[in-house]
């Protein structure tokens, strides 16, 4: 669909929007940045020129706790409209709170279940119930074929997928990789709250994740080399003959560990070391959690884990709370 961007404020206006081809929706709370623009561009590519891309802009009060930043959350609708149009959106649905919740706070809500009580849910009780409730309402209102969400909010994405599956929503949910600034900081609407010194401390989040990823890659490569060492020689001796001094020192431990057992703990340790150093900076990074979890249910992975995992971190710098994560693959060397 082509033409000027349409701004819609009511469900009635949205229902009157002519439907052309497949419809994709990108849900936001406004204060759009390049991460959101990437979601919109991905949506446009997915539905093609004949399809339709709708961006929702709604700061959802249900997912903010009593001591969180609902009133402080940035509202930049004019800029959001410009970014949406430039990225390829056909319409922006920007309803009021009264439009979404006409009778006040809804008495019936979606419950996130056990997954919604872990990590972000433990820190922010009720947050995911509020998030799923508004996502369900917006899915009903926008009636998309495809809904796109950023992987930076990995637990949110996992819960939305679970809700769509469990409650039979007729929509495809797609995750889009996290967009980062040049220094590695994950794009977030809350980054604007960081002063220059706070931002330097905040970079520890992504550095910690990358340290965990690099440790996994190094350990996986070591395991692969150890497994390939000739059976007639000890693995450490064989690797030493290749001139790999560090690998030689570690190879006995790798062999004793069964070629990979304990890697999750090594990944956590590498990431935690970076975060602990940042905790001694000024201003300090105050860690909320560091977790290595199974993306299916966000439970901690064990020492023998293989498959997809998510390394996730949340912390405060000053008064600004930030989250980040990266996907990891255990057992990829085998």
Catalytic (active-site) positions: 36
Cβ within 8 Å of residue 300, ≥6 positions away: 291, 292, 293, 294
Contacts 24+ apart (CB under 8 A), 37-41: 37/83, 37/86, 37/87, 38/87, 38/176, 38/179, 39/148, 39/149, 39/150, 39/176, 40/83, 40/84, 40/87, 40/88, 40/89, 41/87, 41/88
185 secondary structure, DSSP code: P
Which tokens is 228 given?
Answer: 């390939």
Please provide residue 23's backbone torsions phi and psi, each rounded to the nearest 5 degrees: -110, 130
Say how far apart CA 95 and CA 97 lie, in whole Å.
7
For residue 26, the cross-strand partners are: 55, 148
Which tokens is 20 given?
Answer: 């052309």
Q: Are 202 and 185 spatial neighbours (Cβ–Cβ below 8 Å)?
A: yes
Cβ within 8 Å of residue 88, ≥6 positions away: 40, 41, 43, 44, 53
Say how far apart CA 244 and CA 304 lie, in whole Å.
26
163 secondary structure, DSSP code: H
């Amino acid at each position: 669909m082509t033409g000027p961007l349409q701004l819609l404020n009511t469900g009635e206006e949205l229902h009157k929007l002519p439907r052309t081809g497949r419809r994709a929706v990108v849900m936001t709370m406004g204060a759009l940045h390049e991460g959101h623009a990437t979601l919109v561009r991905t949506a446009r590519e997915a539905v093609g020129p004949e399809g339709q891309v709708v961006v929702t802009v709604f700061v959802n009060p249900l997912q903010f706790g009593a001591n969180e930043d609902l009133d402080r959350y940035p509202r930049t609708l004019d800029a959001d409209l410009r970014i949406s149009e430039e990225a390829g959106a056909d319409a922006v649905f920007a309803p009021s709170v009264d439009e979404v919740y006409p009778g006040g706070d809804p008495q019936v809500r979606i419950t996130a279940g056990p997954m919604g009580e872990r990590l972000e849910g433990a820190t922010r009780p009720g947050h995911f119930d509020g998030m799923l409730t508004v996502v369900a309402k917006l899915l009903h209102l926008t009636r998309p074929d495809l809904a796109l969400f950023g992987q930076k909010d990995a637990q949110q994405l996992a819960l939305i997928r679970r809700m769509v599956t469990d409650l039979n929503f007729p929509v495809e949910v797609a995750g889009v990789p996290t967009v980062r600034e040049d220094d590695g900081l994950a794009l977030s609407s809350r980054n604007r709250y960081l002063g220059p010194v706070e931002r330097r401390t905040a970079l520890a989040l992504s550095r910690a994740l990358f340290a965990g990823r690099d440790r996994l890659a190094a350990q996986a490569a070591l395991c692969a080399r150890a497994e390939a060492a000739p059976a007639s020689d000890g693995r450490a001796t064989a690797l030493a003959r290749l001139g790999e001094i560090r690998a030689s020192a570690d190879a006995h431990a790798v062999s004793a560990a069964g070629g990979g057992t304990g890697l999750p703990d090594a990944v956590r340790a590498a990431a935690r070391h970076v975060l602990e150093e940042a905790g001694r900076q000024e201003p300090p990074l105050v860690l909320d959690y560091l977790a290595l979890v199974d993306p299916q249910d966000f439970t901690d992975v064990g020492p023998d884990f293989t498959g997809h995992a998510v390394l996730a971190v949340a912390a405060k710098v000053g008064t600004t709370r930030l989250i980040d994560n990266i996907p990891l693959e255990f057992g990829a060397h085998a």
